[in-house]
Amino acid sequence: MQIHFSAAPVAAARLVALVCDADTLPPSLEPVLAQGASAARFAGKPGQLFEGFVSRGGAVVRLALAGAGKADSDDRVANLEKAGAALTAKYLTSGETVLTLDLTASTLSAGEVAAVLMGARLRGWRQDGYRTTLKDDQKISLATIAVIGAPAGTEEAWAIEAAVAEGVEFTRELVTDPANVLYPESFVARCAARLAGTGVEITVLDEPAMRALGMGALLGVSQGSVRAPRLLAMVWNGGGDAVRPTAFVGKGVTFDTGGISLKQPAGMEDMKWDMGGAGAVAGAMLALARRGAKAHVVGVCGLVENMPDGNAQRPGDVVTSMSGQTVEVINTDAEGRLVLCDALTWVQKEYAPAAIVDLATLTGAIIATFADQYAGIFCNDDTFSGQLSAAGAAVGERLWRLPMGPAYDKLIDSAIADMKNMGSRYAGSITAAQFLARYIDKGTPWAHLDIAGMVWADKPGAVWGKGATGYGVRLLDRYVRDVLEG
């Protein structure tokens, strides 16, 4: 969706939108529309809409009022995003091609307008590339939002948010594409194409390179698939070489059958999004580069496909990770931690990061705990945990911290190896985090985000439609803004 700015009204505008605070209507609103809004009980609640028609200059204009809630609300930014998203959701397939956002009588600041536009753009993303039989009234028609009368600084504010929106959309694209289209090699190719010319430096390790480094845990997951694994590193150095990078590490299982420990068939199609952590990392790197973030960041994606052929890893196998630690594979469906442990070891040896965040659709247990309301955060540093949680709260990508501790280590101790890749049926998300913690160098701040319940939505949300949400991109970007650039 394109966003254009103009100081003057757009000639022959057919669809005009106004953003209204709670219990407030624009004073210039035609009486018939004001009466209609009142009759329809439009109160300016966040995301509430009212539509009417009015004659202006001899032409019939379709006018929409979008509610933004109370001006002094603690959720002001989220409510403004809801206003913009509600407009896009309403008119995306309406037949209208241009929506004019009229701010000539508005008191919104530049940042507040950018929030409205962020909601509008994010809610307008949809993957229709595989649909060939859509009727005209089902196709996306809305292509442009024309903004008139915006306050000074809005275009600059929006340029920053537009970069983040592009990152979110890229993540949604990656998460949405099917596994016969997106697999480790094509994931790398897609990232290389999208990051070309941005200043992001890319390094790719193939299977022989990973084998030479001793990445037996990651390679054990991939050995049952004809799709070759890859390790992808993306470096954005906007902070200078004197600054140690912060590392974002993503689980990228492009399809997860569970391997020999085969998942139930019902719902297995959803496992194309088991690379949501890697998708978030790729989208965040694009966002940081597009907005020219003043930070040194490396994004690493461990990319595999988990399949159950005759060469597949078996329950009971023992693999040696790059760190030298050995793992008894109890369940081949607990594969994400095997991918991440080698990626975490590699990024520490290669880049000596100042801090690490890993993101993974790691456990069903986290969905049982939080449903789709929170991602779980496990962290070895209170300050780091607080910074990430604050960043998530600011952009509506919420985190809830869960405990860790030596008592949980006993659940993954193995009788024949250094550890098992899963414990008992209890504390599944915690024992997964305890597993990963064994691969973090002493003194390195590290956070593990279990985002299994957040990357895909079965129904539309505030700023996304049904499907991929793009979760994680905005959280990581906000952390960079607040902490690394702040």
Instruction: State residue 184's pLDDT score.
Output: 98
Over residues 98-123, mean pLDDT: 96
Over residues 235-262, mean pLDDT: 95
Instruction: State residue 224's pLDDT score.
Output: 98
Burial category of 216 from C-beta neighbours within 10 Å (exposed 0-12, middle 13-18, buried 19 and up): buried
Instruction: State residue 462's pLDDT score.
Output: 92
422 touches 324 (CB < 8 A): no
316 touches 329 (CB < 8 A): yes
Q: Which residue has the higher pLDDT, 13 or 373?
A: 373
**How far from 203 is each of 174, 233, 273, 338, 474, CA to CA, in Å?**
19, 5, 23, 21, 24
Supply the DSSP symbol for 462.
S
Q: Residue 409: which residues within 8 A CB-CB, separation 6 or more?
A: 434
Instruction: State residue 241's pLDDT score.
Output: 80
pLDDT at 74 over 90: yes
Instruction: State residue 13's pLDDT score.
Output: 86
pLDDT at 10 over 90: no
Q: Which residue has the tokens 């279990």?
A: 450
pLDDT at 379 over 90: yes
pLDDT at 248 over 80: yes
Instruction: State residue 9's pLDDT score.
Output: 75
In the chain, domain spans = 2-149, 162-484
Instruction: State residue 38's pLDDT score.
Output: 95
82 catalytic residue (yes or no): no
Half-sphere exposure of 413 (CA within 13 A, CB side): 7
Task: Give the sheet arrangement for strand 375-379, strand by strand.
Answer: 201-205, 230-237, 296-306, 246-256, 355-360, 446-450, 375-379, 399-401
Instruction: State residue 243's pLDDT score.
Output: 86
Instruction: State residue 367's pLDDT score.
Output: 98
Active-site residue, selected from the candidate residues 62, 211, 263, 438: 263
Active-site residue, selected from the candidate residues 230, 337, 474, 481: 337
- Quote the CA–CA distance of 461 and 125 in Å, as a whole number: 12
- Quote the CA–CA distance of 486 and 475 in Å, as a whole number: 15
Fold of 2-149: Leucine Aminopeptidase, subunit E; domain 1 (3.40.220)
CATH class of 162-484: alpha beta
Instruction: State residue 470's pLDDT score.
Output: 98
Partners of 15 in the β-ladder: 62
Partners of 321 in the β-ladder: none
Over residues 280-299, mean pLDDT: 98
Partners of 65 in the β-ladder: 18, 50
Instruction: State residue 425's pLDDT score.
Output: 86
Over residues 133-158, mean pLDDT: 96
Over residues 63-87, mean pLDDT: 97
Give the pLDDT band of residue 444 (cuts 50, 70, 90): very high
Give the pLDDT band of residue 144 (cuts 50, 70, 90): very high
- Quote the CA–CA distance of 417 and 301 in Å, as a whole number: 26
Q: What is the pLDDT of residues 27-44, one digit of tens each?
A: 889 999 999 999 999 999
292 touches 238 (CB < 8 A): yes
Q: What is the pLDDT of residues 221-243, one digit of tens each?
A: 999 999 999 999 999 999 888 88
362 touches 454 (CB < 8 A): no
- Quote the CA–CA distance of 122 and 149 in Å, as a whole number: 22
Give the pLDDT band of residue 314 (cuts 50, 70, 90): very high
263 catalytic residue (yes or no): yes
Instruction: State residue 242's pLDDT score.
Output: 82
The answer to whether the 2-149 and 162-484 domains have the same CATH topology is no
Give the pLDDT band of residue 333 (cuts 50, 70, 90): very high
Looking at every residue in the chain, the average pLDDT score rounds to 96
49 touches 90 (CB < 8 A): yes
- The first and second tokens of residue 170, run together, are 């890229």
3-state secondary structure of 149: coil
- Quote the CA–CA distance of 158 and 116 in Å, as a whole number: 10
Largest CA distance in the chain: 84
Give the pLDDT band of residue 153 (cuts 50, 70, 90): very high
pLDDT at 12 over 90: no
Over residues 342-357, mean pLDDT: 98
